[in-house]
Amino acid sequence: MRNRFIRRGVGVAILFTIFYVMLLIIKPFIDTNSYQYTPAFSISSEDFPNWLLDKSYLKNQAESISEKIFKSEVERQAKAFSEVYFLEQPIKKRKTIKQIALTFDDSPDDWYCPQVLRILEKYKIKATFFLIGNRIKTYKHNALAIQNAGHLIGNHSFAHDKLTQITTEQMMEDLKLSEDVFVQELGIKPLLFRPPYGMISDEQIIELGVRGYKIINWSIDTYDWDIKRNSPLELFMRIEKYAHNGGIVLLHKAFY
């Protein structure tokens, strides 16, 4: 009698284990909220021509007139310069695992940087960091921590000026300063560029494109930069609402 109970118990445990393992295997295929986190544009340059998007979109619904203007401007540029300017990541067609990229602007710093790196390490997520050139020397240890953790690094200008308010020549002077710092301090020359505030003129896009840069904006704005609507819950709900395959999420991690 007792043996029968034990056998039945073992049988149920084995069935449960098989069911659980099966569930883990098929989860990515059935769970619409299951995403693989990847750095933005981690694909190799040889692959690039096969990955081009005709157009990409900013998924956020505009909540004000200025946001409406911004959205239509970035979507126009993404369409007009689809080989060098992106709001979304190109994704392989029919790929079953959905990918999303977390991007962090305005680092390095001493306050948020270590915390964000700890969280990313805990969840084994590789992200993309767009570093500001003039911060790299001051917070070099944290720039190196980002690099050593294996995250992708992009250029976010030297002085964080609004590029639409300066000339293309001035932008190139600023970029040169930034490139020099990246090379001297980190030994790299990233070819991913995120314009401060996501704003850049058509002429400036063309100039950067000629020099081999890819301009990477975002398709999901968390509004973590806006104190009036940046509680952790609001950020989370916004990401969940607009999450999509090939999505690029805008986040920040600098202390001003």
Active site residues: 105, 252
Nearer to Zn ion, 106 or 224 (CB): 106
CB of 175 closer than 8 Å to CB of 149? no
Minimum CB separation from Zn ion for residue 124, in Å?
26
Alpha-carbon distance 219 to 250, whole Å? Answer: 8
Token pair of 77 as six digits: 């540029």
Query: Which residue stretch of 101-109, 145-153, 165-173, 216-224 sits at the interface with Zn ion (rule: CB under 5 A)?
Result: 101-109
Minimal CB distance residue for Zn ion: 105
Task: Tell me if 105 contacts Zn ion by CB under 5 A.
Answer: yes
Neighbours of 30 (CB within 10 A): 8
Minimum CB separation from Zn ion for residue 67, in Å?
17
Query: Which residue stretch of 18-26, 51-59, 104-112, 114-122 sits at the interface with Zn ion (rule: CB under 5 A)?
Result: 104-112
Task: Tell me if 196 contacts Zn ion by CB under 5 A.
Answer: yes
Nearer to Zn ion, 88 or 106 (CB): 106
H or E segment and range at residue 131? strand 128-131
Residue with token string 């505030």: 197
Nearer to Zn ion, 154 or 196 (CB): 196
Minimum CB separation from Zn ion for residue 160, in Å?
6
Token pair of 84 as six digits: 């060098």
Alpha-carbon distance 221 to 66, whole Å? Answer: 14
Q: How far is CA 121 from CA 117, 126, 145, 187, 204, in A?
A: 6, 8, 11, 23, 36
Task: Tell me if 88 contacts Zn ion by CB under 5 A.
Answer: no
Give Dmax (Cα) for the chain: 88
Alpha-carbon distance 156 to 32, whole Å? Answer: 32
Side chain identity at 122, as an amino acid letter? K
Task: Tell me if 154 contacts Zn ion by CB under 5 A.
Answer: no
Query: Which residue stretch of 115-123, 195-203, 209-217, 234-242 sits at the interface with Zn ion (rule: CB under 5 A)?
Result: 195-203
Task: Tell me if 198 contacts Zn ion by CB under 5 A.
Answer: no
Minimum CB separation from Zn ion for residue 191, in Å?
18
Q: Which one of 88, 106, 109, 174 is in contact with Zn ion (CB under 5 A)?
A: 106
Nearer to Zn ion, 82 or 170 (CB): 170
Alpha-carbon distance 64 to 68, whole Å? Answer: 6
Query: Which residue stretch of 6-14, 22-30, 105-113, 200-208 sits at the interface with Zn ion (rule: CB under 5 A)?
Result: 105-113
Minimum CB separation from Zn ion for residue 17, in Å?
48
Alpha-carbon distance 128 to 41, whole Å? Answer: 9
Binding site for Zn ion (CB under 5 A): 105-106, 196
